[in-house]
Structure 1
Amino acid sequence: MNHTLKTELLSKEGKTYKHTRQAVLPFITREPERVKFTNDFSRITAEFIRLILRISTPDETKMEEIIAGTLAKITFGTAADKENVKMYLKTALNQQNKTGDLTNITNIPLSTDNTKKGEKEIAHFLYDVFVRSHRTELDELLLQLEDAKNIFSNLVGTVSKEQEKKHH
């Protein structure tokens, strides 16, 4: 292959080429679906982890069902105890949860507006790049880690799986 320098193009100072947009990454630039990252990267991270764990994306109504189902499985001494646990659950499962505990990250919902599409596309891109080719090894690792959760996470996870079965 022979490369030659076209001097006639140099004299035009690059005005012969039109700048064209190339889609390299799945980051949508259209205004309605473009992710604005107002709540950091947590929604995309949560969707990415849900893809790895093969669970569906929760919505706000499912969150209320998980809280109600979890409360139904616990025996409380007083109504105040029940209310305190309910407040804890709402905080723990809240989309704004900024604690270092990642056990409930899968319960962070996607945005409710048009940016949901962009968030899903970025999460799917990350999954395709980092996980898809290693799916079988990851499944084996996840089976080993299943029992390593704490009691509270197991309870919420059980209720979440029950709700998932009801909806499908």
Structure 2
Amino acid sequence: MHNSLREKEWATWLRAAIAGDGVAYQRFLQAVTPFLRAMARRRCESFGAPASEAEDVVQEVLLAIHLKRGTWDPARPLGPWLSTIVRNKMIDTMRRRGRLVAVPIEDVIETLEADEQADDLDHLDVERLLARLKDPQRDIVQSISVRGTSIRDTASRLNMSEGAVRVALHRALKTLAALYRSDNS
């Protein structure tokens, strides 16, 4: 598939996901993850970071996409938005390690080439990490992040306020990120 066609398809799915379509959100995440992984590997290589950092960056990017998906302007191309998130998360990773990072302006806009290999272990990793969360956090993450159910519907189903669901989701995602980092360090 041509890159611009793929980007349009991803943008269509993300627009639908923002509107509350959980199936579209799942399609978007499954399609974009190999692209993000390839981009993170290239960034690690260009910054002189160990290749092992790439997967941590991908997880941080996926969390950022989830939390900030409402900031994407649907009238603008999706590729530069994703590239910027990857670049920023890579810089954050390098800063945590105490390295000086210089990012050439040419690296801001990446082409949408991705390794088409899907990692079957991703699903197992997600399930293993989710199993370590306590209810209702696990239920909230599965409902909103995995199935794409809206916060309103999740709150209604769990007899919680929308604010409480947002707080629980935020805390659960922070916990998942910490668990993932501790498992991979």
- In terms of fraction of residues, the more helix-rich structure is 2
- TM-score interval, smaller chain: under 0.3
Q: With structure 1 as the length reference, what TM-score do the two structures score?
A: 0.28
Structure with max Cα Rg: 1
Q: With structure 2 as the length reference, what TM-score do the two structures score?
A: 0.26
Question: Higher relative contact order by CA 8 Å / sep ≥ 6: 1 or 2?
Answer: 1
